[in-house]
Amino acid sequence: MARRLIRPKRPHTRRVDYPRRGRTNWRRWVPSWRQVLSGTLLGLGALAGLFAAMYASVDIPDENAEARRQGTVYYWADGSQLVSVGAVNRQNITLADIPDSMENAVIAAENETFYSDSGVSVKGIARAAVSMVEGGETQGGSTITQQYVKNTYLSQEQSAKRKFKEFFISLKLSNKQSKERILQGYLNTSWFGRGAYGIQAAAVTYYGIPAKDLDPGQTAMLASLLKGAEQYDPAGGKGNHARAVERWKWVLDRQVEIGMMTKTERAAYQEFPEPREAVKPTSLGGQTGYLVDIANKYIKKRSGLTAKDLARGGYRVHTTFEKARVRQLERAVRSVRKRDLDPEKRPADKYVEVGAASVRPKDGAVVAVYGGADATTRYANNADTSGVPVGSAFKPFVLAAALQNGHGITLDSGYDDAGRLITSGPRMTAPTGGSGARPVPVQVSVSMPLRYALTRSANLTFTRLGKHIGLKKVKKMAVAAGLREESLARLDKSFPLGTSTPSAVRMADAYTAFSNNGMRAEPYSVTGVTRDGETVKGFGKPEPQRAMNASVAHDVKDSLGIVAWTSLARDRKFDALADSRTLDDLSAGATHEDDRMRSAWFIGHTEGLTTAVTMFRNKPGTPQLLGMQGVGGDDSERGNVFPLRIWTAYATGE
């Protein structure tokens, strides 16, 4: 009998039944409920493990690491330090010194579930992540805990990595610290604008009182600033003020809606609590504050950095400002004011303000400004603020537009007594007599060639000229030269006479086109910015652009040369300039005694530098400028000569 071979049993291994046996068609590929459940549990277990590992790996950093920040240093053009702005305006206080109304306003506005949530908003983080992946605008949506973590423990960069850390640190912090302590930390570290970090500094900055004395109306206004002080600080302009009022109302109404305030309590706050006028810190006294103001505006325009970013500090800002010229311009203004103005004796000499700016024609660098007597006492920067009519100093742009677009108009053109434009040569008229007779030349006199119209500030000539070529072409020329469109007046018959209100910086820059063969560059005040050794992008010399034909610029400059010599002779300043050897390449534009005398201007060019000086009278609390008549003496023309005197003192170094 044959013996049967018995093979050893192999260990049984269960084969995954997929595709599923015993099923046909598409059913073979549909997992069973056991498979789905197993996969789900396995996935959830893996996610839980990953979450636990991540939670354990992320530690809470040292508190206030970001608060120990550097100052932002501004440098003169020669590389020496202009100023360091770095003292953090913050005074930490306890929650006991913060009124309940402040806590309620912030929670209502920023995170109504603060006391019940886990410290994070998964929905908000997901929305921010999707936006960043899609390349859209960075999103907020963070809880108060997350914002506190960002302010205190992390950098302000908008990235997925920072959001990831923020999420886990917020969870840990919410488990380790009380909600009261987190809220206290948040209110002590938040940015409220105007250099104020924390509620105590904000209360003093905006209302001049400690935080404990704030009323619900004031706390609602301060809570509004947390959405973005640059957009909601009422001092930022009409748009800001309107947004602030609207947000303030919403914060109060929101407290009623979620039960933190009764309707009766809400009814007591109907009038918007206007904050104090914004002031600059004393380290920015004299001209320094105005220089920093212009530099910061340029930085924000070119780089996208905000005032909050700059206030955080650590930046190194290299400017175009030349120390010697800034000091010289300030001395020139002070010397003329001291010598020629006496507010104690003459009421007309009161409330006189001066603004000035020097721009280098070849590249648009702003090398000097005079913004006012002191940046800590006068917040508005007279060198970079619109609102002062430019008067007859605008007429060169009318002349340039006519020469560029006037079809045959030259400096020798003019208007006859009947108001007809004579472009060149004699006018041809048909003779009386029989048919076939040839026209004969008839000499028609021009009342005033355009060459001399600027010198005499011929209002009628420029009104006619603007109408003849079209006011839109005049406006186009002014914008091409560098004046901001929003500073230009409406296009009516007075437009060519200078009803527009550009700043001194813009006027100086626009006039550079006349002395630079029709080329001009955007005025710039910052050559470079770095932070922690990294270069901030967006800076460099602007490329020059053509504003007008070179021949047009040359012709206008010839006329401005006559204005300069006439003005100097009238005020007996020729000798001072001749002695200082600054007569080469001399040209100027100015207001005239025939202007309405709400302001006085002189824009002069010599030795490679164009400087605009404006003078006006502005009584605090009065919306309209006061008249310049009688400034400096009884002669009604005298108020118009002081910008020329300041420019001359500046050019000669007096």
Q: Which ranges constitute the DSSP H helices of 156-314? A: 160-176, 179-189, 199-207, 216-225, 229-232, 238-257, 263-267, 288-303, 307-312
Hey, what are 547's tokens? 């504003």
| Cα(272)–Cα(261) distance, integer angstroms | 17
DSSP per residue over 29-82, as a string?
A: GSPPHHHHHHHHHHHHHHHHHHHHHHHHHPPP--TTTTTSPPPEEEE-TTSSEE
Which residue, among 457, 450, 453, 491, has the nearest Cα to 474 in the 3D structure? Answer: 491
Percent of the chain with pLDDT over 90: 43
User: In whole angstroms, what is the distance from residue 570 CA to residue 566 CA?
Assistant: 6
Give the burial class of 197: count Cβ atoms within 10 A of its Cβ; 0-12 exposed, 13-18 middle, 19 or more buried. buried
Give residues with Cβ within 8 angstroms of 425, minimum separation 6: none
Is pLDDT of 651 > 70? Answer: yes
**DSSP strand pairing (72-75 vs 440-442):** unpaired
Closest C-alpha among 127, 471, 375, 109 to residue 260: 109
Calculate mean pLDDT across residues 162-174: 64
The closest alpha carbon to 367, from 335, 302, 317, 319, belongs to 319
- Confidence tier at 5 by pLDDT (50, 70, 90): low
Q: Does residue 153 carry a pLDDT above 80?
A: no
> What span, in angstroms and rounded, lies between the C-alpha atoms of 409 and 397?
14
Quick one: CA dihedral 612, 613, 617, 620, positive or negative?
A: positive
**Which residues pair with residue 317 across a beta bridge?**
74, 529
% of the chain exceeding 70 in pLDDT: 74
Q: How far is residue 354's CA from residue 469's CA, in Å, rounded to a whole number?
A: 34
Lowest mean pLDDT among 64-78, 535-549, 611-625: 64-78
Name the more confident of 544 and 43: 544
Q: Which pLDDT value is given to residue 433?
A: 45
What CA–CA distances, in Å, run from 464 to 403, 416, 493, 591? Answer: 14, 11, 9, 19
Tokens at 163, concatenated? 């959001």
How far the first Cα of the chain sits from its last, in Å, is 136
Q: What is the model's pLDDT at position 580?
A: 54
Tally the residues of the chain. Answer: 654
Report the C-alpha gap between 618 and 635 in whole angstroms.
20
Per DSSP, what are the bridge partners of residue 354? 615
- Pairing type for strands 545-546 and 587-590 reads unpaired
| Residues 551, 517: Cα–Cα separation, whole Å | 7
| Per-residue pLDDT reduced to its tens digit, 404-444 | 987 789 998 888 888 888 876 444 444 444 444 454 444 44
What are the residues whose beta carbons fall under 8 Å from the beta carbon of 139, sequence distance 6 or more? 124, 127, 128, 131, 132
Mode of pairing for the β-strands spanning 609-617 and 352-359: antiparallel
**Cα separations (Å) of 553 from 279, 523, 572, 584, 586?**
42, 19, 28, 17, 14
Strand segments, DSSP code E, in 455-550 are: 519-520, 526-531, 534-535, 545-546
pLDDT higher for 88 or 112?
112
Q: How far apart are CA 227 and CA 523, in angstroms?
A: 32
Identify the sign of the CA torsion 168, 174, 177, 181. positive
Q: Rounded to whole angstroms, how far apart are CA atoms 493 and 549?
A: 26
Q: What is the pLDDT of residue 70?
A: 63
- Better-scored residue on pLDDT, 11 or 423: 423
CA distance 143 to 351: 49
Which residue has 């850390």 as its token pair? 165
Q: 599 forms bridges with which residues in the sheet?
A: 616
Residue 49's pLDDT is: 54
Task: Please provide the average confidence, as pLDDT, over all residues in the chain.
Answer: 82
User: What pLDDT does 185 receive?
Assistant: 86
Per-residue pLDDT band at 241 (split at 50, 70, 90): very high
Q: What is the pLDDT of residues 324-362, one digit of tens each?
A: 999 999 999 999 999 999 888 888 889 999 999 999 999
Query: How many C-beta atoms surround the C-beta of residue 631 within 10 A?
Result: 27
At 246-285, the pLDDT tens digits run 999 999 999 999 999 999 999 999 999 999 988 766 678 8
pLDDT tens, position by position, 107-129: 999 888 888 886 676 665 555 55
- 225-230: long-range pairs with CB below 8 Å, 24+: 225/192, 225/193, 226/106, 226/109, 226/110, 226/190, 226/192, 227/109, 229/191, 229/192, 229/193, 229/194, 229/307, 229/308, 230/193, 230/306, 230/307, 230/308
Does 600 have pLDDT greater than 60? yes
Cα(414)–Cα(280) distance, integer angstroms? 52
Q: How far is CA 185 from CA 145, 325, 456, in A?
A: 9, 46, 67
Q: What pLDDT score was predicted for residue 434?
A: 45
Phi-psi category of 330—alpha, beta or left, where left has phi over 0 and alpha has psi -120 to 50? alpha
